[in-house]
């Protein structure tokens, strides 16, 4: 229902992490999770995303 | 997003209430009219209760009454179960329907018919993109209510008109900042920052186990980081305080300057203050010079006796012609040992050997020592000359420092005399202003000193953190497993840094946008186009209204102008946030004088072109002037009346 702020923040997150593509994708992913799902099971989700982007063998596909 | 229908059952004086709110393509303006005490505020509370299970606008007397309608209790029997229900029917911009439905079940106990709560729950029915209806309960239902209007910012959407009048007293600085964090979703970045930081710390702990040597560095690093965080927070607070202090001091100065009695003294005081500031700065520079001078000379002064003694020895040796050496002691010793002259190559006979031995007995110092003493002479002489100047230079610095100190003392005495004169004024107001200004000056002086010291501490902490991080990374690199953790730690560091930058960017951008939007709305709606120049929002989200002559005039504007400014700010927050929920105002023009009610009617009409506006008027508020402007444009109009026995409110459809 809120449609103004989040898009701006995502753009800014991408801009401020453009030097590291994996960090950028990670931030976009967890921002969207925070926006949609809020507080529930955050730790599990964060660690899953962190492993996804810091262990290249598992592959990074369709992060956005 | 708009409210389509509000249905209430057994909620306080609303025993059975059901209204639909129509709209058309031009306007979405809903009017409910009711005398004081009929239940307008209860209606406002019913929406809050439905969405958040709260009644923020209830009076103390209402708190003591049960939420359950009194006549329903009277009509009930012991052990009956009664339901309080509020349903809010909402439609989204995409045309989907969402119904928020809160009910509370009461059981009637004992002869006194006391209602005891059995359950209280919120359910949400909503249509998904395929048109299917889903039902949400418990936390999921509450989350949906938060998406409609987050509870933390509900006061910007459903509020009492009085709030607009008191806006700049009640909702200031930090509070607005917090609300903006929520409205602009910066709170999500804060959540992300805190959570990644938590994982980051856990990774560090993990790395400690992999390499126990790291533990010590890790602890030091954490402690330094904690200290740095505190220093940063202190610096921000001090800067805010100093800024605020300066603003207050400036205000008092301006007030005092404008008074005929005090203006001359005040101008002189300001001149002296400015002079004092310059001399203080010069004095501080000189003091730094003195410290550096002492530091430079300190070691050499400690060595002064040794330098003197060495030069004395060299002098004596020179007098005895031991320096420079006439003959090499080592050469003589070698000739005696080999019985052969190194100079002419002849073998030594006994006489020659005796003569060489006699010569050797006269040579006391080796040529190496003599050479050393010789090479020391020049640097030692230079040091001696420099130290001989020490006294003169020190005196010169001290003299200059004393001049500054005397000057500072003199200026302070002059200021003190002026202060006494200013304090001596019989006009109580002047005296108070002056004394308060003195208090703030003292506070600011202390704050500035503390700020300087905290900034120094911060530099040291940053240096320590840099060194410790290097040490830490070096230790981590030793282990293969630890390298993986190190990689994740470094990833988290980059992520945290990006979040911090983003947070900063969004905060600045949001502030600028809110200022722009507030200005736009305020000046579009304002009836006096020439009086004001600008609306400014400072770093602490305090709002300043700038008069066309350049000064901040928020404290002296009329209630109507203040209310319009607050409304403009509120609507700007709506626009920035992206929450396009309706605005509902109870007694919207109660504090607005008759002259401006017409203006406000036009404003509400204007706002209703883009957003649903629900206004709860008293009959007195809904005057002829307002009615003339709104009546034709109203989409729905209801009258709320309390029954003669005051136990129930009924509603009459007027339009």
The nearest CA of chain A is from the CA of B226 a distance in Å of 23
Interface test with B, best of A5, A17, A22 (most B CBs within 10 A): A5
Cβ–Cβ below 8 Å for A4 and B188: no
Contact (CB<8Å) A16/B576: no
Closest chain B residue to the Cα of A5, Cα to Cα:
B184
Distance CA A23, CA B493 (A): 10
- Classify residue A38: in a domain, yes or no: yes
Sign of the Cα torsion B592, B597, B603, B606 reads positive
* B579 contact A CB<8A: yes
Contact A2 B147 (CB under 8 A): yes
CB spacing of B1 vs A46 below 8 angstroms: no
Does the distance separating the beta carbons of A3 and B188 come in below 8 Å?
A: no
**Residue B424 DSSP symbol:** T
Give the CA distances from residue B133 to residues B86, B125, B145, B412, in Å, rounded to whole numbers and listed in that order.
20, 6, 17, 78
B655: which DSSP letter?
-
Q: Given CB atoms, is B127 within the 8 Å cutoff of chain A?
A: no
Contact B505 A16 (CB under 8 A): yes
Task: Please judge whether A1 and B1 are an interchain contact, meaning their C-beta atoms are less than 8 angstroms apart.
Answer: yes
β-pair partners for B114: B109
SS3 content of chain A, % helix, strand, coil (to 5): 70, 0, 30
Structure tokens at A28: 């976009």
Q: Which chain B residues are closer than 8 Å to A4 by Cβ?
A: 575-578
Contact B22, B627 (CB under 8 A): no
Cβ separation of B143 and A38 shorter than 8 Å? yes
Q: Give per-residue pLDDT as tens, A8-38.
A: 889 999 999 999 999 999 999 999 888 776 6
B197 has a chain A CB within 8 A of its CB: no
Encode pLDDT of B187-196 as tens digits. Answer: 889 999 999 9
CA pair distance B106, B118, nearest whole angstrom:
5
The model's confidence at residue A2, banded by pLDDT at 50, 70 and 90, is: very low
Pick the residue of A11, A13, A14, A57 with the most B CBs within 10 A to test the interface with B by mutation: A13
Instruction: Give the residue numbers spanning the domain of A36.
Output: 5-58
Q: Which of A34, A42, A50 is opposite residue B488, by nearest beta carbon?
A: A50
Q: Are strands B2-11 and B636-642 parallel, antiparallel or unpaired?
A: unpaired
In chain A, how many domains are there? 1
Rounded distance between C-alpha atoms, residue B41 and residue B58, angstroms: 8
Backbone angles phi, psi at B395, to 5 degrees: -60, -40
> How near does any CA of chain A get to the CA of B236, in Å?
23
CA distance B580 to B639: 27
Contacts of B202 in chain A (CB under 8 A): none
Q: Choose among B192, B488, B579: nearest Cβ to A2.
A: B579
- B553, B561 in Cβ contact below 8 A? no
B95 contact A CB<8A:
no
- Phi, psi angles (nearest 5°) of residue B533: -110, -40
Q: Which residue of A has its CA nearest to B93?
A: A1
| Cβ–Cβ below 8 Å for B185 and A2 | yes
Which residue of chain A has the CA closest to B579?
A2
Q: Are B647 and B71 within 8 A, CB to CB?
A: yes
Please state the rounded mean pLDDT for residues A50-61.
68
- In this complex, do B491 and A50 lie within 8 Å of one another by their Cβ atoms? yes
Confirm whether A64 is domain-assigned: no
List domains and CATH numbers for chain B: 2-20+42-152 (3.40.50.300), 163-182+507-653 (3.40.50.300)
- Which tokens hold the place of B382? 């230079």
Encode B57-99 in three state secondary structure.
Answer: CCCHHHHHCCCECHHHHHHCCCCCEEEEEEEEEEECCCCCEEE
Could you tell me if residue A63 is inside a domain?
no
* B203: nearest CA partner in chain A: A47
Asked if residue A15 belongs to a domain, the reply is yes
| pLDDT single digits (tens) B234-268 | 998 899 888 888 888 888 887 777 665 666 777 78
Predicted pLDDT at B50: 94
Residue A33 domain flag: yes
Consecutive sets of 10 residues in chain B, 655 residues long: mean pLDDT of each? 92 91 88 89 91 79 74 88 94 87 91 87 88 87 83 78 68 66 82 93 82 76 90 90 86 73 76 90 87 79 82 82 68 82 79 82 66 78 82 89 92 87 68 82 89 89 89 72 82 94 88 88 81 84 82 79 84 76 87 78 87 92 88 92 81 85
Residue B615: exposed, middle, or buried by beta-carbon count in 10 A (0-12, 13-18, 19+)? Answer: buried
Query: What sign does the CA torsion over A18, A23, A26, A32 have?
Result: negative
Q: Which residues of A touch B (CB under 8 A)?
A: 1-6, 8-9, 12-13, 15-17, 20, 22-24, 26-27, 30-31, 34-35, 38-39, 42-43, 46-47, 50, 53-54
- pLDDT of B261: 62
What is the per-residue pLDDT across B77-101, written as a single tens digit (0 to 9) for each? 888 999 999 999 999 877 888 999 9
Predicted pLDDT of residue B8? 95
């Amino acid at each position: 229902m809120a449609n103004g702020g989040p898009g701006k923040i995502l753009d800014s997150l991408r801009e401020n992490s453009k030097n590291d593509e994996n960090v950028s994708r990670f931030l976009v992913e967890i921002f969207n999770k925070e926006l949609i799902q809020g507080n529930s099971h955050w730790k599990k989700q964060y660690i899953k995303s962190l492993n996804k982007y810091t262990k290249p063998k598992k592959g990074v596909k369709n992060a956005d | 997003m708009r409210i389509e229908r509000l249905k209430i059952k057994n909620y306080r004086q609303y025993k059975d209430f059901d209204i639909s709110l129509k709209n058309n393509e031009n306007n979405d303006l809903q009017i409910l009219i009711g005398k004081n005490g009929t239940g307008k505020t209860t209606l406002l509370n019913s929406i809050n209760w439905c969405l958040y299970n709260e009644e923020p606008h209830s009076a103390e007397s209402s708190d003591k009454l049960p939420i359950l309608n009194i006549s329903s209790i009277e009509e009930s029997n012991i052990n009956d179960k009664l339901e309080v229900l509020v349903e809010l029917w909402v439609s989204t911009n995409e045309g989907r329907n969402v119904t928020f439905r809160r009910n509370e079940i009461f059981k009637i106990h004992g002869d006194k018919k006391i209602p005891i709560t059995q359950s209280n729950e919120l359910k949400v029915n909503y249509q998904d993109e395929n048109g299917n209806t889903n039902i949400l309960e418990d936390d999921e239902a509450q989350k949906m209510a938060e998406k409609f209007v987050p509870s933390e910012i509900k006061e910007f959407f459903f509020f009492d008109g009085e709030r607009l009048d008191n806006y700049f007293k009640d909702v200031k600085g930090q509070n607005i900042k917090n609300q903006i964090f929520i409205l602009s979703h910066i709170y999500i970045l804060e959540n992300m920052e805190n959570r990644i930081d938590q994982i980051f710390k856990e990774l560090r702990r993990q790395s400690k186990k992999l390499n126990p040597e790291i533990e010590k560095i890790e602890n030091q690093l954490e402690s330094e980081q904690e200290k740095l965080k505190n220093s940063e927070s202190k610096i921000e607070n001090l800067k805010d305080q100093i800024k605020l202090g300066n603003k207050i001091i400036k205000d008092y100065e301006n007030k005092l300057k404008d008074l005929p009695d005090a203006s001359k003294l005040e101008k002189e005081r300001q001149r002296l203050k400015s002079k004092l500031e310059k001399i203080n700065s010069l004095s501080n520079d000189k003091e730094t010079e003195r410290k550096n001078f002492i530091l430079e000379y300190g070691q050499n002064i400690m060595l002064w006796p040794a330098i003197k003694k060495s030069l004395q020895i060299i002098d004596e040796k020179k007098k005895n012609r031991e320096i420079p050496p006439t003959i090499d002691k080592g050469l003589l010793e070698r000739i005696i040992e080999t019985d052969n002259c190194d100079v002419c190559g002849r073998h030594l006979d006994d006489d020659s050997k005796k003569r060489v031995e006699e010569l050797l007995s006269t040579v006391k110092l080796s040529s190496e020592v003599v050479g050393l003493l010789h090479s020391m002479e020049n640097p030692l002489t230079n040091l001696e000359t420099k130290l001989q100047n020490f006294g003169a230079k020190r005196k010169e610095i001290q003299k200059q420092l004393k001049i500054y100190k005397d000057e500072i003392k003199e200026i302070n005495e002059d200021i003190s005399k002026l202060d006494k004169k200013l304090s001596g004024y019989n006009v109580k107001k002047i005296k108070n202003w002056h004394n308060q200004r003195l208090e703030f000056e003292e506070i600011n002086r202390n704050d500035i000193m503390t700020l300087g010291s905290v900034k120094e501490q911060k530099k040291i902490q940053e240096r320590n953190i840099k060194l410790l991080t290097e040490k830490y990374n070096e230790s981590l690199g030793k282990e293969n497993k630890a390298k993986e953790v190190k990689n994740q730690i470094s990833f988290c560091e980059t992520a945290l840094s990006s979040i911090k930058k983003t947070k900063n960017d969004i905060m600045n951008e949001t502030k600028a946008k809110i200022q722009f939007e507030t200005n736009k709305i305020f000046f579009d709606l304002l009836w006096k186009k020439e009086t004001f120049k600008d609306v400014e929002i400072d770093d602490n989200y305090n709002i300043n209204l700038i008069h066309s002559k350049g000064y901040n005039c928020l404290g002296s504007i009329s209630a109507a102008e203040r209310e319009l400014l607050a409304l403009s700010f509120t609507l700007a927050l709506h626009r920035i946030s992206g929450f396009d929920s309706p605005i509902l105002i109870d007694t919207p023009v109660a504090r607005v004088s008759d002259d401006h009610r017409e203006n406000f009617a036009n404003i509400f009409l204007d706002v209703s072109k883009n957003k649903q506006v629900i206004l709860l008027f008293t009959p007195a508020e809904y005057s002829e002037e307002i009615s003339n402007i709104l009546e034709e444009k109203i989409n729905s109009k209801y009258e709320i009346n309390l029954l003669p026995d005051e136990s129930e409110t009924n509603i009459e459809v007027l339009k």
